[in-house]
Chains A and B, each alone.
Chain A
Amino acid sequence: MTPSFLRASPLVAAALLAMCGAAGASSHREAPFISTVPKVDATDFYMFRSYEPGRSDFVTLIANYEPLQDAYGGPNFFALDPNALYEIHIDNNGDAREDLTFQFRFKNTLAAAGKGVELPVGDQSVAIPLVQKGTVTDVKDGNLNLAETFSVNVVRGDRRKGQSSAVTNAATGATSFDKPVDNIGKKTIPDYAAYAAKHIYGINIPGCATPGRMFVGQRQDPFAVNLGVIFDLVNAPVSVITDPALIGAAPNILDDKNITTLALEVPAACLTAGSETVIGGWTTASLRQARLLDPTPKPGHQTTEKAGGAWTQVSRLGMPLVNEVVIGLKDKDRFNGSKPKDDAQFATYVTHPTLPKLLEIALALPNTAPTNYPRTDLVTTFLTGINGLNQPKNVVASEMLRLNTAIAPVAFAQQNRLGIVGNILASGNDNAGYPNGRRPKDDVVDISLVAVMGGLCMANGDNNALGFGTACKPSAVPLADTAFKLHDAVDQATVPLLTGFPYLNTPFGGTP
């Protein structure tokens, strides 16, 4: 399928030929409250037609949590929160409300029926302080002191009031799944890749005839970004971040960090509804509203907190970088607690974005922000999807990642790191990249920098070729062709990935 968005725009290719390269963490510690509860901090969300050979009829959904994990972070490492609800939502009719929700719940259980592994010491049997007592190689390994398990429900309709059913193991029918322990190191887990692979499950999804796949566990953080430099008022020479030859000049500051991923592979037909081929997706995490601290915690695991009451959403992530660099600081917690259907309250941050103005200040380049207000180019990209590419027929403006499931996936080697924009530049056939969904290889930092500084309006030309609005045109872009050249000097495309599900690479170990 060639999107009409692309067929209509020969001018686009001409405009983008000037672009030889393009430039926050996506959502790592992006809001005041969520930085206090890292176990429920969503870092990145990906949604794409599976490009693993033979799996093109599936959509992969990846929600990453717990940012900036150092591999040596023992002895407790990075188990997910048993007092939290992790969710992946799908809107399949464009109304800004979830129609399908995958709900993940976690449980941590000490060995020996809750006593934990004990060793004989003199005439006493004493509990050990570590999560393992020896080498770990298998699911439910007997040397693990702590078992982390999880269950998944699929809810159809409202996430709280809808019909809920358990996802089951396709091989056993079980509703409880084992999560691999984190990559403690070579001596404990000699072959972590093989150990983790034993935790990839075939799953039966209620209401879906074809089985899917699921993996939950630690992975290398797949996001690449020049984090310290960006947050230090873009502490890099303009000559570097506008030189397309230097897209990989700086080290990826996250390339020794892990995250924890919730990965699902679901038949595309099970996510769409009727004739609408565009789906919207986002992830959220919620905590119980009432949380009490026990001043005398009971023996067991994580017993200090007693949580109850309603689920209260504290993290939300669809399109990358939105809460990071678009939403104002005073509203970041509010955004994390909000639902897409209520996004009108945040519209000003998109129609009149501050990031271009901040870049003017940081780079000492006054009057370089685009002048087309309201920024209909950003409204289209972030809130409705692009007509003819990934905009649902009956779209209600709201922030979520939108994927046209009718557009064929592209093999990794042929994927353009700059997504749709880069594909136009290359006159290629890769219409499956960001912002049409998001793949791990898509360099969303560079794409976003180009977009906010006017690249879309340069591409839109004087005849509104892409439908971004008549005011969105080259004369509204003071940077002109230089807008296409912006980048953060870190190349997302060089991050190591697996060739198939769950795509994200084996995590760094506590020892090499």
Chain B
Amino acid sequence: MKKIFRYILIAGLSLGLMSCDKFFDNMEGDLSKVKAEDLMASNSGFLALLANLYSNLPDMSMSSSDQNTMFANASRSTPSYGDGTTSFWSYSTIRSVHKFMEAVEQEKAAGRLDEATANAYLGEGRFLRACFYFASVRAYGGIPILDHLLDNEPIDSEALYIPRSTEKESWDWVINEFQAAADLMPERQDQAMRATKYTALAMKARAALWAASESKYWDRAPLNSNYIAVQKKLTYMEASYADTYYQQAIDAAAAVILSGKYELAGAEPANIDAAVGNLITLFQTYDTKEGIFGRSYKNGSSDSGNGNQGWGPNQVVTGYLQGTYSVTLNLADEYDYYDGANTRARKDGKIKTMLIGDENAYFTDESQVTAGTIGNYKHYDSVDEPFKLKDARFQAWVCYPGSNFRGTTINNQGGMVMPDGTLAMYPGNNNGVVKNGVEYFPYGGSGDENSFFYKLDKDVNDSNRSFYCFQIRKGLDESGNNPNPQTPWYNMRYSEILLTYAEAVVESGKGNAMLAAKYLNDVRHRAGFKDDVELTLENVLHEWKCEFAFENQWSHVLHRRRGFITQGATSAEEGSLTRKLTLIPIVDLSGDTAQYIFVRCYPYNATAKKGYSGFFNFKADDYYQQIPNYVKNRIDPNNKQQ
């Protein structure tokens, strides 16, 4: 008994006398966080920090905004970049860059990282930082340039307040940083989706072209000269700056081209089908030859993807909002025709719909298509006939009526001329009519869900429908209705560098005009054209539009060239249109055989003629975003008068 008592006493004493803190010292610690020294113990720690930085890069996913070349899905009244990040005011990511660079410097100083490796990391850090600042300058004009970590400053320190640099200084800084990064970075990386010396140079070319275009065309949309930001040149560029920037763009683009590291995928195709095939394949798997910078969604797990599952036509996807990413007729008209399947020289791309009458007149009511006038329309034997000789890029990247996507014929049709010659445009039912032993439907195929066009009676899913007969195909998974498509995203393709060179040369007269023309035509030849066009600004801009449709580039072109429709005025040079246009394929059963006519019109529906939707209407002020928290940050705002 006494023994037991003794044990209790000992147990009690040991409990009572144990050193207080020891009990808490030998715990596992915080398992949700990793200490810096554990993380930096290996290269993969640096890669982990880089993974976070790369994941914050702007412009790294397809934007569904309709300014990104003729998407027709939405119409907004204010400009929005929406390029994969919500804001370009990315000082928290800038801090992460600085934390990364600090870690590299520390490991280098401690001798755990050799000089060459450390420099390569530092170069990559500077490249990423320049990317964030590039996006920032482009949105806000002159920005506060912070190039070091502020963690150790007290929170009431004046050193926390960084003034804005002028816009020119900001551009110069960004361009120089890309060059400095390129000087430190390796020519190749072990990882395909990681930036190299040439990625940095390519970005430099892009930034320099932006600065150059903005300088040259700033006056197209001049800001109010009473603005503080204009007076301090925070949101101000002038034509005299342009030449230097064009030269920088030419030099950087030339360095990338001459490196020989990149080439166009499927250059000089044998025929149209080969060209179409190459252009489809390019967007299925990341092509490291053509891709200079991009993002892969093949992460080893099948349950995550790029989120564009529902973007295809209604017929081949399921779920909510399928098929909303439709494409305007404006873009379809932009793509040239080949003059023939073999000669493949350029021919104007406007889709021919009329035999007699004005090709620029637009449908307003049914009386325009009657037994009496039907002869004015050009009749095609099949619904896809008008598109068969279109630019291979159109055929590869757009689902057009009668095209075959995912093994399904896409039926985008909006009406029927009945055997008696009356027009049933968007009829309330999809009843078939038999002609020559074949059943034809007003909406192309049988059933409700087979139709893409505007709703039938009792159709509650009208948000799944569209006014447009073209939908996006570029970048969508060709293999099937995969819930998590993992097709890649190109931030920068080699063809952009070729066009950058061409544009810089044609705009400035500097550089090699012969090479510039060759580069322009190299891009066209990959799309199946055999002829050469002249190096003109119009031709260069035309290629920007056709080559980079749905790649977020066209809005950048319009932005840097101040080419948006500004206060109602169209920049004729850029070819902008104020109205979105559509095309309605209609099957004509009034003749001996079933034929197809195409009606040009403004977006239309069966019950009401809605107000048309247009493209962006910019004010000059819209070229510069509002400065976030400018009072708190003690910096000058944009758009504020003296």
Tell whether A pairs with B. Answer: no
* Residues of B bordering A, CB below 8 Å: none
* Residues of A bordering B, CB below 8 Å: none
